[in-house]
Structure 1
């Protein structure tokens, strides 16, 4: 670790954090927000469903998967409490997304790298809502050939692994290997919170000093190295954003709970298990 990484504070759950994750008996589902996950094309919707399940388990009052009409059957066959909201064609995407009134949007998990999916990302960014920007959406933002609108909402959270971050800020990787510096520079460029994935997850934001969420105290965190794990993390973040959490807090809490779910399940963990461990962790 670099000296700066050694000096960066490590996130610790407090009673206040646990209390903030609870729900009031006087509340109703609309009080806890509508989280929307944008699905990729037909046959590639599993990532969106994993994210949606994560958002629902972490307490969003309503969760919807927005998809093309040809993907409805795929989603509807596997979702019950999560709503499926199809749009007729790509020209209807923005109007459709606006009409369902999300409080937070997750976009990127298996979104695809087509020009149509890049257009969708650009349209979603124009809404100015808190977003979790993950996976393919980060790759689109890294493409300098056709710039996208800036991330207007500073409460949004970008969730790159090292390869995605390297595409987003290649010039910074030539200057330093310090993960804290890399996360800070990415947050400055993106204008939002950046959660840089890893055993020591670094979270940085334009308005916050960096924080590390460490896996070192969790024996089974290595089992999170499995397909779909990051999609669930994106769902956790989106659900917290929909509930009204500050983007930096949402990122820290989601990363910590992600590690704790892995610890609660143990060896053999797959992505589908992660949301199902969250009730146990919260109890």
Structure 2
């Protein structure tokens, strides 16, 4: 797949993509946290964390409940590991960070609710995915009240319906735009043609979707990519649009046999193409 300099799908975010300069150091490239699930559910956080490093975040930490910390620490290298024992402790770890991903295999328990609410009181932008979306079924206002315009929700259609029941009857584009206004943040409605909507009315429909992305964990990778770009101070809407496009391009380039672990490893190739190297 080649990139065209006049491709309208790229035009809005390509000019602001956060390439490092010759004197850039790791802290300037952004600090991201990823909240891990329990000991037997750490893979999703590790997928997100690795993708965020590959997309350029300078420093990435996986924030773990106590039972998961040694499992994660033995499975990562450049990613750092911190343990938290309460929502308040999680917030203290997150406060110095630029962005935090919460939801991938986080668990469908009230602990996820309390952790998200604690994170919402920090200065970090939130990328809310998977379990951290589903747990708010029937009480979406509790979630929305903790969010702001820099935060991002990343639902597939099932998760979207749980938070915004009935909206999909409007069609995907109208539903995403209404959802972003209602939630007060960016909404990424995943699918064959992923729709990204901002609360100020901006809307983008991705046109390079790949069927090879229909595999467990690919959404965790996307959440990490979005978080990694936001951590680098990219506008949240632009970061979501960029990550969705690059994620699909990585899937298409790898093709048959793709598993989620392959996506982060394809990003150097995708990024070199984007730069024109």
- TM > 0.5 fold call: yes
Gaps spanning 5+ residues in structure 2: where?
Answer: 1-6, 273-277
Once the 2 structures are TM-superposed, how far is the Cα of residue 149 of structure 1 from its aligned partner?
Answer: 6.3
Q: Who is 1:80 aligned against? A: 77
Matches within 5 A, 1:90-101: 92-98=89-95, 101=96
**May I ask how many residue pairs the two structures share in their alignment?**
266
Mapped partners of 2:254, 2:166: distance in 1: 39
Cα RMSD after superposing both structures:
2.0
Say if 2:117 and 2:146, in contact at 8 Å, map to a contact too: no
Over 3 Å off, 4+ runs: 88-91
Write the distance in 2 (CA, Å) between the matches of 1:73 and 1:191. Answer: 37
Pick closer, same or farther for the CA change 1:255–1:146 going to 2, 3 Å.
Answer: closer
Partner of 2:4: none
How many Å separate the matches in 2 of 1:252 and 1:228?
Answer: 19
Check if 1:109 corresponds to 2:104: yes
Q: 2:145 aligns with which of 146, 150, 153?
A: 150
Query: 1:119 Cα deviation (Å)?
Result: 0.7
Equivalent positions of 1:156-195 (< 5 A) are 156-173=151-168, 176-195=169-188
Aligned partner (choices 252, 273, 276) of residue 265 of structure 2? 276
Query: Are 2:65 and 2:84, in contact at CA under 8 Å, matched by a contact in 1?
Result: yes
**Equivalent residue for 2:220?**
231
Aligned residue number for residue 211 of structure 1:
204
Match of 2:254 in 1: 265
Distance in structure 1 (CA, Å) of the matches to 2:88 and 2:16: 43
Taking structure 1 as the reference length, what is the TM-score of the superposition?
0.88
Alignment partners' CA distance in 1, 2:185 and 2:141: 20
- The one-character-per-residue Cα deviations of 1:164-207 (angstroms, maximum 9, x if unpaired) are 0001111424xx24100110111111100001001101111112
Unmatched segments (≥5 aa) in structure 1: 1-9
Contact 1:128–1:152 at 8 Å: present in 2 too? Answer: no
User: Does the 8 Å CA contact 1:126/1:152 hold for their aligned counterparts?
Assistant: no
**Does structure 1 retain, via aligned residues, the 8 Å contact 2:181–2:200?**
no
